[in-house]
Structure 1
Amino acid sequence: MKSLEFFKPNKNSKIRLFCFHHGGGSASTFYPWVTLLPVEVVAIQLPGRETRYKEPLLESMKEVVPHILEDFKKYTEKPFVIFGHSVGALIGFELVRSLRRLRLSLPLHLVMSGCKAPHLPLGRRSLHDLPTPKLISELTIYNGIPSEILNGDPELLDLFFPIIRADFKIGAMVFGHIGDRYGRKKALLLSISLMSLSTIAIVSTVTTKAP
């Protein structure tokens, strides 16, 4: 169960919510949700961070999805929802495609936050291979990483930046900057919610149900 963090197991919960963190994030991002939601919150924990800091980082979707799926498929015995933010939204989307391909249980709902549809161009160059000063500058603009980390101890940055570079590389591969670009394949037969106004208009190209 290395990939899954059950902060507070709840066998009586009728729905299980699987949460996929943003690029550079970790499972603990979702810990506060445990007391806020009436469902069983389960967070995905990728290698190389927090409880898994000794494990090598993953840098491609082809590595990440099978890695998560090994544990994930054991916990789909009850209705479930998938939520992902940023890179986590892309990982959640690709995981659902794998579930469908393997004829495993599909989520009631896929919620994608802070992410463009994967068949669209990214609209900017990838960040994963930028020199550190430039990467810090870009991350400051996006305001997605606490300033105390970006402007803090250089040793802390040395620990943090390999994680964010690996996660951003995963996103870059999906959007076609490196590796295989997402291809239009059979649309997903489930409801998808997108928390990005610029993406809602084109969601019908990757799902058969309205957002």
Structure 2
Amino acid sequence: MTELSERAGVPIPTIRYYIREGLLPPGNLTSPNQATYGEAHVHRLTLIRAMVEVGEMPIAAVARLFQHLEDKNADEYTTLGLTQYSLVRTAARESTLDEPGAAEVQELVDRLGWRVNDHHPARAMLASAVRTLRRLGQEDVLDLLERYAASAHDLAEAEVGVVLERDGLDNRAEAVVTVGVLGDAMLAALRRLAAEDVMTRALETAARDANG
């Protein structure tokens, strides 16, 4: 386990915790107090760290996700769907869909012709954002909703393409996780970098115009 800790960059107590919680399979016992760990363990630890540290997912949510991945009785569509649903934050998943904002989300989905499950947890997440923007009087931000949707759908086509290029359900499910967690992180970072670039250029242009 010491070697596994060094290779994965994860402390031994954390590795033991992940094993106890069922996130990481135990090693192959070579003696009562000795076990060996392979590349699969290093890979799984890297994936767990991405979900916990980058995606800020609770351990319970990560455990549920791995349960879905290990459920071989489900078909591919169900497994990939449950994997994606597991990536939505718990607070959003527990929201009720009859709250203010839900109807607006449904209207958007209908208008765009998207085929989306009525129980997709991201519906509640989006409804919460819409509801909050309305309370804040940020109607101009809400006016961007369809532009957000168009950009998201365009990106989703590319991301799903990456997922479906993988061979085997396990590899496809892992791609859903990495796209959902690390893809979200990259997109959020790029949006903020782009915002600084656009803001800087806009303010520089405004300053030049003001100075004649």
| TM-score, normalising length: structure 2 | 0.25
> Whose helix proportion is higher, 1 or 2?
2
Higher RCO (C-alpha under 8 Å, 6+ residues apart): 1
| TM-score, normalising length: structure 1 | 0.26
